[in-house]
Amino acid sequence: MAESQTKAAILERHRANELLRAATYPVVQRTNRDLSIEYPTIPPAGAIIEASVSALQQGQTHYVDVPGIAPLREQIAAFLGGRGLHAFQADNVIVTAGVQESRFLTIQMIGDLFGSIALPQVAHPGVRKAAGVRHLEIRHLPANAGKGLLPSLDAIRTTLQAGCRLLYLESPSRLTGAVFSQADVEQIGALLAQYDAAAIWDQGLAPWVATGHYASLAAQPAAAQRVAVLGEVWPGVGIDSWQLGYLAANPDWVAPMRSQKQIMSICTSTPAQYAALKAKDVYATTHDGQLEELEWARSEAVKLTQAAGVEPLPGSVVTLLAVRTAKAETTLRSLHERGFEVGNGADMGAPGVLRFAVMPDTTRQALQCLVEG
């Protein structure tokens, strides 16, 4: 076929879009040697499967409401309310086809309202990819090593002073697990009010922070209407690959996101949503135990790295351990040779950082590669 100029132009436009072509997070297979995951999961309980199948057998195989079935939105709103996010009711919630869809909807549709958005230098690669789908004016929030590669408050203030009124923040960081402290969150909330600004707050890893040590920006009374939150639905109880996420925001932002959700996929899959209704109960009985076990495993892994003279980056998420090493490439090769996958900070804006998932049995083995240098 003679070369198509139309196709060539499309492909050139795509090639030039570095954001959209940002590294795709690796496709992992759930083995205990795959330490690139953000958190572990367990096989879905029989009760979860039965709940989903029962719904399907009773006819729930059709389109459902665009923002998600009402009982699930109510569950999510209650979950958020239980963590101090009282601004969100069921009508403020959209059930999405996974956390990446939450990222996309918030970044593109709220970004469109504000005209520009500040993205963290260090973030899940899906953040840049979502921003790259359609042109947005983007500013960057530099990472602060002392804050576990989260942006500093000064960087946030500078960005707002420069006129950008929408921030995207991860807390916990998807790379290091670092969180903004209560004091940080109060100050960010004050800055948003001072500059009439807003924030998209990825709190998806918050369930994996030891109890009592997490502060959400959306829980700040002054900031609640200025913040959209997003995350995964009932993580770690076996429905993670069924692709369910959520977002919650004020009504003025929910409306365009709901419309866009309808345009993109009409609704989220029914087997996943009905499974999630039961997954809540399993989460309630298993999550604390998972947290406790992983907290211990992480502390053991930290001791191992410290004994080898490597200080982990600050992080509060018990499922992750991030380290900076001058030998990242050789360590990665060594890990691959031994059958391990880990998260590469280079894919998230932080070359030289490796992220290990905390598994009770295999993380220590993988860290040996790091220790052996």
Partner 1 sequence: MSSERKKGTDLLYSLIAQARTYPDAIVLGRGDPDFDTPAHIIATAEEAMRTHGTDYSPPEGILPLRQAIAERIAHVNRTEYDPETEIVVTNGGQEALFLMVVAAIGPGDELIVPEPNYNTYNDSLRFARGVKVGVPTYAAENFRVDPERMRQAITPRSKAMLLVSPNNPTGGVIPPEDVRALVQLAREHDLLILADDIYDLLVYDDYVHLTPAAVPGGKERTLTLNALSKTYAMTGWRLGWVAGPADLMARVRDLKAAINGPNSIVSQYAGLAALTGPQDDVIRMRETYFRRRRMVMDALNGMGIPYGMPQGGQFVFADISATGKDCVTLAREILTEQHVLAYPGSAFAPGWDNYLRITFLQPDETLREGLERMGKAMKKLGAGGEAA
Which residues here bind partner 1, judged by CB under 8 A? 1, 4-7, 10-11, 13-14, 20-21, 24, 27-30, 41-44, 49, 52-53, 56-57, 59-64, 66, 96-98, 100-101, 104, 126, 129-130, 132-135, 238-244, 255-256, 259-260, 262-272, 275
H/E run at residue 130: helix 125-132
Handedness of CA 52, 58, 59, 63 (dihedral sign): negative
Nearer to partner 1, 62 or 196 (CB): 62
Nearer to partner 1, 103 or 364 (CB): 103
Q: How far is the CB of 362 from partner 1 (least distance, A)?
A: 17
Handedness of CA 261, 249, 316, 156 (dihedral sign): positive
Cβ 355 vs Cβ 342: under 8 Å: yes
Q: How far is the CB of 66 from partner 1 (least distance, A)?
A: 8
Nearer to partner 1, 77 or 99 (CB): 99
- How far apart are alpha carbons 8 and 120 in whole angstroms? 32
Nearer to partner 1, 90 or 153 (CB): 90
CB count within 10 Å of CB 348 equals 30
Q: How far is the CB of 147 from partner 1 (least distance, A)?
A: 27
Q: How far is the CB of 138 from partner 1 (least distance, A)?
A: 14
- How far apart are alpha carbons 367 and 170 in whole angstroms? 26
Nearer to partner 1, 241 or 330 (CB): 241
Q: How far is the CB of 63 from partner 1 (least distance, A)?
A: 5
Cβ 265 vs Cβ 244: under 8 Å: no
CA geometry: angle 271, 273, 278, nearest 5 deg: 100
How does strand 34-35 pair with strand 93-96? unpaired
Nearer to partner 1, 108 or 305 (CB): 108
Cβ 136 vs Cβ 116: under 8 Å: yes
Q: How far is the CB of 207 from partner 1 (least distance, A)?
A: 17
